Structure 1
Amino acid sequence: MASSYSEDSSNELTCAICLQLFEEPVSLHCGHSFCSSCLENYWESREESTACLCPNCREVFPQKPKLHKNVILARLVEQMKLREGEGSHCVGSQAEGKDGEGDDVTVNVGGCESHCEVSNEGAAMRCVPYETLCCERHVKPPKHKGHKPLEPEMKVEDPGSTEHGNSIHFYCKDDETLVSLMCKAEHQDHEVVPVEVALAEFKGILAAKYPPLVESIKQVGSQIQQVHQEVRDTQVSGKDKEERLEGERREMYRAVDEKVNRMKRWLSERQSVKLSHLERQRENLQQEMDCLCEEESTLKASLKELETVSFLEGYKDLLCRLESRSHFSTTEPAPPKLLDFPVEEQNVDSLIQINDDLLKEIQKELVKQVEIADLEFNTLKRLYGRTLSLDPNSANPYIKISRDLRTATRTETHNQYPEHPDRFDRCAQVLSSECFSSGRHYWEVDVRSSSSWRIGICLNSIGRKGKEGWLGRNPESWCLRKYENKYYTVHNDRGTLLAVPGDPERFGVLLDCEEGEFTCFGGSRVLHVFRGNFLVPVKPAIGVYGVGDSMRFCSF
């Protein structure tokens, strides 16, 4: 019997891969244990995408688990090796126990040949569940979790047995408990199945949860990668814009410097010319001044002549000289306006105005480049909000338009509308009267009174006859759709399911023609962004499909 017990223990301590006693045993989450090197080599030899799985039960691990050494198994292996080496020399007392099948076994634990595994002294206690022989000095106290020191000859029940001492072979689904063969009679009215069947069934249930979990991990991982890419794109875009602005600033500085230097050179040249002219004018006036002073002196001298004969003889000559001077004019023509700026440069403010216009264009470009997600929602409404009106000439006969041209109601009866080429004859839809091909435009639609609807835009070339005109079912239209309490984005007959929290009463859309973007909002949250060529005229559109339902363009 002791030989059978030793053989069973050896089997329990054998690696299922190399079929040898464990070397550095490690345990997986499923409970199975293997040699660390055997498990690593097994995983490396596999080429499938699900390489990390248990070689025993085939349980798949999404990520390679972190392996930890199983200290208990390592200890038991060491004990097994010691017993195999010392079994022939052990002649001490025997202790009874139970093997894995519930049968009594005897194990040599006492006597002079049973030693403490720490001090090699005589063993006095046995530590359960590790079956470690210890002396009085090295036995682990009960406060250590999982350790229970017992007398060497005391029996320990097999943990794989029931309270009746019988091995477990069944599982009761009603009570969710393990059942032995003897206890099975107590569960005769319950659904009792073999443990292997229960194990397979429960593993199947858990395995069915695995593919959706993996898919969710893939989706979240893809979204994380998308966010990382958007972060990188935003950083690159911001750096490019900064470099472009720096280039424009340097170009503006260069243009201003060149203009100012040219004006300074021109001013210096004309200043030199005018100063030369003024110097010549000063010299001429000084000569005239000298002559006049000379005549003045002569005249004074003549008036003081006392002798009548001398005065009379010189009078006539002096008079002639004075009369010749009477035609002298002290005012000369003003020099040309050499210092006046030419026509294209006479107003320095014009240069400043040019720079102001450039700055305004840069500011306008910066505002245009601001991401919609960075704008406060109220700011978005205030800047680009539009109050739209419905076009009665495009309304389907089962769509009734309110008097203020803002509400569309789906009716059960046919409304008497005149024939018009713009009218939808089969699709319960209506277009707005407004048409956009440039700028940014934001509008909202109140959908609280409708359970099935579409909100979008379309080219004016969209079909109006037959079913080809459904919003989103063709290349000429883009829309947000609600159907059976689910939300979709649809374009060219391809839809994408959206995750919309709650049930918003209003949905908004922003059309950016220059950027080619059509953004859908649920409340204040961006749901989806369409991209296309919106520089051609497009019209807002709505579709109401439930009888009695209505939708309304909100006012701003």
Structure 2
Amino acid sequence: MASSSYFEDSSNELTCAICLQLFEEPVTLCCGHSFCSSCLENYWESREESTACLCPNCREVFPQKPKLQKNVILARLVEQMKLREGEGSHSVGGQAEGKDGEGDVTVNRMVNVGGHESHCEVCNEEAAMRCVPYETVCCERHMKPPKHKGHNLVEPEMKVEDPGCTEHGNSIHFYCKDDESLVSLLCKAEHQDHEVVPVEVAVAEFKGILAAKYPPLVESIKQVGSQIQQVHQEVRDTQVSGREKEERLEGERREMYRAVDEKVNHMKRWLSERQSVKLSHLEHQRANLQQEMDSLCEEESTLKASLKELEAVSFLEGYKDLLCRLESRSHFSTTEPAPPRLLDFPVEEQNVDSLIQINDNLLKEIQNGRTPSLDPNSAHRRIKISRDLRMATRTETDNPYPDHPDRFDRYPQVLSSESFSSGRHYWEVDVRSRGRWLIGICLNSMGRKGRGKECMLGGNPESWCLQKCENKYYTVHNNRGTLLSVPGDPERFGFLLDCEEGELTCLEDSRVLHVFRGNFMDPVKPAIGVYGDDGDSVRFCHLFMISFIPFCS
């Protein structure tokens, strides 16, 4: 059943979204949107991208130009709308009655926009919602969702300002691409030579441009998020590494305290024993002297009594016996052995002070020194140097190092940037890798080019090294190796170089493994050779603690 209200509500539904006029020969696309046939053809012809057709409303793309057929129902509704407008049956703000041949329908068009007196256009009940911008009202029972873009349901009393033309105050229906401005129907004449499109078309086009920016923005967000996660991970790794180093340093301190306490306790026990021996000897000596003192006092008393004797006969009778006893006392002398000295420590105890002094001096030297760094100009192309110049890693392929006269061209070796020719120096090397390696020192003058032993660490008189091969450890110098007794599989080795003494001491866990002797007054450099598999590595350790300094003899 058709009604006056139906035709009036449908006036906006019978409007072309391109020309904003009642349909002329309306056609409907597959997406469901309808347009004037001529408007749609002109729109497609005006587009620069002629390879595909799209809906001006929803922007759906049609790879092939669809066959347009007239929408007979829309055309008939348009004709009926035009007839009713011609009869003057459309009355806004009042009441109108009409018949469709089957019954009478009374339509209430009392619309008080923005006020409180508004009624449903169908049943005359109090309106619940208002459609913007077409100002139609309805109750909850006849409320329908908007079917087209730009239709919004709001409260009847809500004021919604429709943006209008600043010059004429009319509603905006077009957009000028040349001036980038909004255009009303009256302003359109001023933009005759410009590219003017309906606002819906402009919105759809610009949304497409903005949508094209969305994937790069999402990718940037992902990249930044990934970097943030990396930073968070580095923060966590730094915190864990710091705690591990603090715990290890604290363990070293406890170990040093334990060693000192053990040595001091041993010395105290020995001192207590020596003190007991000496006190016992002194007590025995005191008892003997006291006994002798008592005997002498007795003889003194007898002598005084004899000298005071008045009777000649009595004196003469005891004189000779008393004289003999006094003469024997005059030859008295102690034959007791000298007591032992109280602090006469054994030789090993006498060396404790000097040993502690040596470690104290070495500690000061290490604190004033620095960890060696690797020289990239000396690295073989199968040796990769870490960013901090501390770790050498074996690789299967050549690294892109430039040619350099100091570079090893045959053996996978690398030297430090530092060289030593005087003083005492200490460093440690992390050898957790299970492969074959060589670590030690070499003269700065050792050969770098060629296949002979003169360029291999330990294979000539100019290098002194420790070697790990097939899980055994050797000292290597001048192409001669000596097997070492090394328990377990150590993770670190320490090297103490004394240039003036001509000694290179190799240590493992506070234990001296070997002492090389040579002329180290010529410049020497710490050296590393990584002969294992791909990924095996050797690293100079950062000296934040003293791991290999022997604290006990």
Name the TM tier (shorter chain).
0.3 to 0.5
TM-score in terms of structure 1 length: 0.39
TM-score in terms of structure 2 length: 0.39
Larger radius of gyration: 2
